[in-house]
Amino acid sequence: MTTKVINTREEFENFYFYDKKYMTEDHYPTTYPCLATKEERDAGIAGSQVVHNIFYCPDEYDIKSFFAGLEKGLRI
């Protein structure tokens, strides 16, 4: 799994695994900064796929601490 703090739309486009022509507005984060993950999954006979997840920091938390804790938790 790959994680990255995304600060701009362009950073997300560079992080996105698939060809940009398949992206719609629904694929983009709604607020920045956010933490994006990219995870490759084996899909058996159909091949494999890459799943993108986007995490947002709640307003009441320090963004650096939240993302550091989330990143550690995802690696468990």
22 domain-assigned = yes
**What is the per-residue pLDDT for 46?**
75
**What is the per-residue pLDDT for 1?**
82
For the chain, how many structural domains are there in total?
1
Q: Which residue has the tokens 């398949």?
A: 22
Whether the predicted pLDDT of 4 surpasses 80? yes
54 domain-assigned = yes
24 domain-assigned = yes
Q: Residues 12-69: pLDDT tens digits?
A: 999 999 888 988 999 999 999 999 999 988 877 878 888 899 999 898 988 889 888 9
- Reported as half-sphere exposure (CB side, CA atoms, 13 A), residue 65 has a value of 5
What is d(CA 61, CA 57) in angstroms, rounded to the nearest whole number?
7
Q: Which residues contact 57 (CB under 8 A, 6 or more apart)?
A: 33, 34, 35, 63, 66, 67
Domain range for residue 8?
Answer: 2-71
20 domain-assigned = yes
**What is the per-residue pLDDT for 2?**
86
76 domain-assigned = no
**What is the per-residue pLDDT for 71?**
84
26 domain-assigned = yes
59 domain-assigned = yes
How does strand 2-6 pair with strand 34-42? antiparallel
